[in-house]
Amino acid sequence: MRRRISQRRAVKPQPIGPVQTYQVEGLTHEAKGVARLQGKVTFIEGALPGETVDAQVTKSGRRFDEATMTRLLEPSPYRVDPPCPHFTRCGGCSFQHLADEKQLSAKRDWLQGQLRNLMGTHTLETLSDTSTAYRRRARLSVNMVKGEVVLGFRGKASNDIISIDHCVVLTKPLQTVFLALKTALAGDPLAPNVGHIELLEDTKGVSVLVRLTSVISDELEKQWQDWAHEAKIALYWQAPKLSRAELASQEMRYYEVNNGEDKLRLQYHPQDFIQVNAAMNQKMLDQAMAWLAPQFDDVVLDLFCGVGNFSLPLARSAKSVIGVEVQDSMVASAQSNAEMNGVDNATFIAADLTQPAALETTASTLLTAGVTKILLDPPRAGALEFLDSIIKIAPAQILYVSCNASTLARDAEYLVAKGYRVMRVGLMDMFPQTSHVETMMLLHKKT
C-alpha cells in the first residue's frame, strides 16, 4: 500500500520565476484566477476575479503559464474565509474561498459556455441546496508515515494524503464518525492493513466500509466489530481478493426518497452507486418527474438505472418502465426494490450499453416495447455508443442527466442533428465547494 502511494506521488510545483503583480480578470472551471501579463495568459492558484495579487510562475508553457499566489494585494469583495481549515492543502474542494452565490454564478457561466451550441434562447435553470454538510458518501485514504496513521484525502497539488481532522462537506453524522474513526485508528494494529475507508450515511444509519490490504486476525476483527457496535455504526470489511459475489452477500443498506405523498425505499449494497447528495437527489428526482411528466400511457426507458433511483418514481406514474444497468447485482436490487415498493410495472435488464453485442440484443428488445420517453444518466464517459439505438427507438422525449458537461454537449449535439430539439436545461449544484456540476437537459423529437 505504501509503495503504491509513493509511485503515484506527483511533483509539487516549484516557483521558477520572480514574483510579479497580476490583475486577475477571470476564473477557470477549476477555480484558478485568469490574468494576462505582457499578453500571456497565466492561471493563478488561489486568485479570484477582480483581485490584484503577487504570484510566482510554477510552470511555463508556450501558450500559458501557471502560477501560485504569494500575496493578496487587493481582495475581491466575494472572497470569504474558507469554512474548512484544510482547504488550502486538501484536493477535495476548490471553491471555498468564493462566496456561495458567486460559486454558483461561476458554474452557470462555465456550463453555458460548454453548452453554447445547445442553449439557444433557453435560460439555464438552477437547483441548489445547502453548501456544506451535504456529502453522504466519502472515500478516505489511509497511509502510515513513520508509524503514525494518516487519514484524509489526496492533496491539491500532489497525490500525497493530507491528514484531515474535520471535513465540513460531510453530513454531520459522518463528521462525527470521521473523528471517532481517526481516534480509534491511531496506534491501532488495524491501521497498517487498511487501503482505504468509505463512509456512508443513509436512511438506515451510518456505515463504514474498510478495504483491507492484508488479512487480519479474528481477534482484531472482533475488537473493531465491538467498537462499531458501541458507536452504532455498521461495519463492512472488504478483504483482499473478496469476490463481488461474496461482497454482495453482505447486509444491504437502504435510502428513501419522496415521490409526492409517497415514500420509496431503495436497497443497495455499500459498494453500489448512489447519489452522494441526498437533498439534491430529491430535488433532482422532483425536477425529472416534472420535466419528463410521465403519463399513464407512457413506456419509459431508464438507461444506466442503478438500483432504480429514477425508475421507481417514474413507474408510479407511467404505464411501464424498463431499466437497463451493467451491474447484475444492481439489476437484481432494482428488481427487488420494485417488488418491495409494490411497483409491478417495472422490469430491469442487465446490459453493457457500450458494447455492440449488448446493444443489438437490448435495442431490439427495446424497439418492440413501444418506448415513448427515455431518461438516461450515464457515467462521465456519456452514452455515445447507445445514441444510434436511441434514435432507432425514436422516443418523443429524452431527459439526459449528466455529470460531465462535455460528453453531454457531444451527445446532445448528436441528438439535435438527428431530429431532437432542446426544450429545457438545468444546472444542479450537487457538489458545492467543488468544480463539479450535474446537468439536466430535456429534448423533444421534432414533429
By CB under 6 A, is residue 93 in contact with ligand SF4? yes
* Cα 201 from Cα 135, distance rounded (Å): 9
Compute the distance between CA of residue 292 and CA of residue 364 in angstroms, rounded to an integer. Answer: 24
- Min dist. Cβ of residue 163 to ligand SF4 (A): 10
| Interface with ligand SF4, residue 86, by CB under 6 A | yes
Binding to ligand SAM by CB under 6 A, coded x per residue (else -) over 286-305, reads ------------------xx
Cα–Cα dist 275/6, whole Å: 31
Q: How far is the C-alpha of 207 from the C-alpha of 209, rounded, in Å?
A: 7
Let me know: does 314 contact 260? Beta carbons within 8 Å.
no
Closer of 69 and 334 to ligand SAM (Cβ): 334
Min dist. Cβ of residue 138 to ligand SF4 (A): 8
- Shortest reach from residue 92's CB to ligand SF4, in Å: 2
Note whether 212 binds ligand SF4 by CB under 6 A. Answer: no
How many helices and strands (H and E) does the chain possess? 12, 21
Q: How far apart are CA 221 and CA 389, in angstroms?
A: 49
Residue by residue, what is the 3-state secondary structure of 302-363?
EECCCCCCCHHHHHHHCCEEEEEECCHHHHHHHHHHHHHCCCCCEEEEECCCCCHHHHHHHH
Q: How far apart are the first and last CA of the chain?
A: 58
Nearer Cβ to ligand SF4 (91/382): 91
Q: Is 84 annotated as a binding residue?
A: yes
Which residue is it, cell 418523443?
396
- From the list 90, 185, 334, 441, which residue makes contact with ligand SF4 (rule: CB under 6 A)? 90
Q: Is 202 annotated as a binding residue?
A: no
Is 348 annotated as ligand-binding?
Answer: no
- Residue 93 binds which entry of ligand SAM, ligand SF4, none, with Cβ cut-offs from 5 to 8 Å by kind? ligand SF4
**Least CB distance from residue 76 to ligand SF4, whole Å?**
20
3-state secondary structure of 71: strand
Binding partner of residue 306 among ligand SF4, ligand SAM, none, CB under 5 to 8 Å per kind?
A: ligand SAM
Establish if 411 lies at the interface with ligand SAM (CB under 6 A): no
Quick one: cell of 384? 455515445
Does 353 sit near ligand SAM (CB under 6 A)? yes
Nearer to ligand SF4, 176 or 336 (CB): 176
* Near ligand SF4 in 388-447, by CB under 6 A: 433
Alpha-carbon span 4 to 18, nearest angstrom: 35
Asked if 321 is part of the footprint of ligand SAM (rule: CB under 6 A), the reply reads no
Kindly state the smallest distance separating residue 176's Cβ from ligand SF4, in Å: 14
Q: Which of 275, 287, 397, 407 binds ligand SAM (CB under 6 A)?
A: 275
305 is in an annotated binding site: no
325 is in an annotated binding site: yes
Q: Please enumerate in sequence order all residues whose Cβ is within 8 A of that of 361, keeping only pairs 6 or more positions apart, or say none.
A: 351
Among 48, 55, 164, 349, binds ligand SF4 (CB under 6 A): 164
- Catalytic one among 403, 408, 437, 442? 403
Separation CA 184–CA 217 (nearest Å): 17
Active site annotation includes 305: no
C-alpha to C-alpha distance for 47 and 59, rounded to whole angstroms: 16
Bridge partners of residue 258, in order along the sequence: 263
352: contact with ligand SAM by CB under 6 A: yes
Using the rule CB under 6 A, which residue among 22, 87, 95, 134 binds ligand SF4? 87
Rounded to an integer, what distance in angstroms lies between the CA atom of residue 379 and that of residue 386?
A: 13
Give the angle 323-328-334 at the CA atoms, nearest 5°. Answer: 45
C-beta of 92 vs 382, nearer to ligand SF4: 92
- Cα 419 to the center of its chain, rounded Å: 30
- The catalytic site residues sit at 403
Query: What is the contact surface with ligand SAM in residues (CB under 6 A)?
Result: 273-275, 304-306, 309-310, 325-327, 330, 352-354, 377, 379
Which residue positions form the known binding site? 84, 90, 93, 167, 275, 304, 309, 325, 352, 377
